[in-house]
Amino acid sequence: MGKKDQKFGVKSNKKQLPGIIEGMLLCIYRHLFNHQLTVAFVKKECDINGNNWAGKFKFYLGVPPKKFINLLRVKASVKLLDDNSLDGLTIQRIAMHVGYRNSSTFVKAFKRIKGVPPGKWRSENKIS
């Protein structure tokens, strides 16, 4: 990937992101922990027509929008899982807190990204 974009803290393939991509990123960050945030939601909120917008997103950010959302949510969940003071927080509560509708979707996304389920991650990666 290319240079890190200062505004959003993501790597992009261009020096400056087009307005449509910036708008999509703002929408994603604004609604990240809302379970209603989906690719269709972003498209509607940003008033995007046509079918090539997801391809543009991937071109500039290196991953499709859905994967980008999951990467951000899993990153947030790792902080919760690694915090010893939050041991009482169940996987289901963490899933809901970071924007998933249910824990099974969260567990699948987490395992796909991190290679292990969140429960195993928690037991292996405790911060003292």
pLDDT band at 17 (very low <50, low <70, confident <90, very high): confident
Token reading at 52: 């090539």
Give the chain's domain count: 2
Same domain, 78 and 54: no
pLDDT in tens, 77-87: 999 999 888 88
Return d(Cα 30, Cα 50) in angstroms, integer. 23
Same domain, 87 and 103: yes
pTM: 0.85
Return d(Cα 41, Cα 32) in angstroms, integer. 11
Boundary of a domain, candidates 51, 68, 85 = 68
pLDDT for the residue numbered 76? 97
Domain carrying residue 114: 70-124
pLDDT in tens, 37-81: 999 999 999 999 888 889 999 999 999 999 999 999 999 999 999
pLDDT for the residue numbered 51? 81
Boundary of a domain, candidates 68, 90, 108 = 68
Q: Assign residue 75 the CATH number of its domain.
A: 1.10.10
* Contacts for 77 with CB less than 8 Å, ≥ 6 apart: 94, 95, 97, 98, 106, 110, 118
> What are the CA-CA distances from residue 45 to residues 41, 57, 111 (Å)?
6, 15, 29
pLDDT band at 13 (very low <50, low <70, confident <90, very high): low
Cα 92 to chain centroid, rounded: 17
